[in-house]
Amino acid sequence: MGKKYKKDHARAKAVEATLGGLIGVSVVMLIQLLSIPTLDAALTVSLYSVSVSIPLASAALLCEMAENHFTFTEETWYSFLVIASGSLSTAVAIGAVFYHFSRLAAGLFTILSFSGFFLWGHHVNVVKRANTP
């Protein structure tokens, strides 16, 4: 059993919009990838990554939407895992498309993605410290 807390509906709408955007990008990528007669290794990685990201991001979106009808919710062991996996697989799919066109662009995308992730983690810790008495 996870931590029970009051549902923040404004935050939930932002999460739903973000997940919807990830799903939308993945579906557009899937449509484009399926229209290509032969895929090289990078585009094959992208195709598999999109096949992971669409169902995981959809599951996360459905969980978020299910909570909207209630005042309280509870953390589950899979909620962060599903959101993180769906987001990561979308990033891998985009990175693989960059790699298809340019290794330099793919490297830049990867470095900046990891940098953004670590900066986000640092920021979360700073905010937690600021809110801890």
pTM of the model: 0.83
pLDDT band at 1 (very low <50, low <70, confident <90, very high): low
Going from the C-alpha of 8 to that of each of 15, 21, 43, 74, the distances in angstroms are 11, 20, 39, 12
Judgement on whether residues 46 and 8 belong to the same structural domain of the protein: yes
Judgement on whether residues 113 and 92 belong to the same structural domain of the protein: no
Judged against a pLDDT cut of 90, whether residue 112 lies above it is answered with yes
Judgement on whether residues 91 and 115 belong to the same structural domain of the protein: no
Judgement on whether residues 87 and 129 belong to the same structural domain of the protein: no
Judgement on whether residues 60 and 111 belong to the same structural domain of the protein: no
Judgement on whether residues 125 and 88 belong to the same structural domain of the protein: no
User: Could you report the per-residue pLDDT of 54-107, keeping only the tens digit for each?
Assistant: 999 999 999 989 888 888 888 888 888 898 899 999 999 999 999 999 999 999
Judgement on whether residues 56 and 97 belong to the same structural domain of the protein: yes
Question: Of 126, 99, 124, 121, which is closest to residue 110 (Cα–Cα)?
Answer: 99
Judgement on whether residues 71 and 111 belong to the same structural domain of the protein: no
Of residues 38 and 4, the one with the higher pLDDT is: 38
Judgement on whether residues 37 and 91 belong to the same structural domain of the protein: yes
Judgement on whether residues 88 and 111 belong to the same structural domain of the protein: no
Name the domain count of the chain. 2
The pLDDT of residue 54:
96
Residue range of the domain that includes 96: 4-101
Judgement on whether residues 114 and 71 belong to the same structural domain of the protein: no
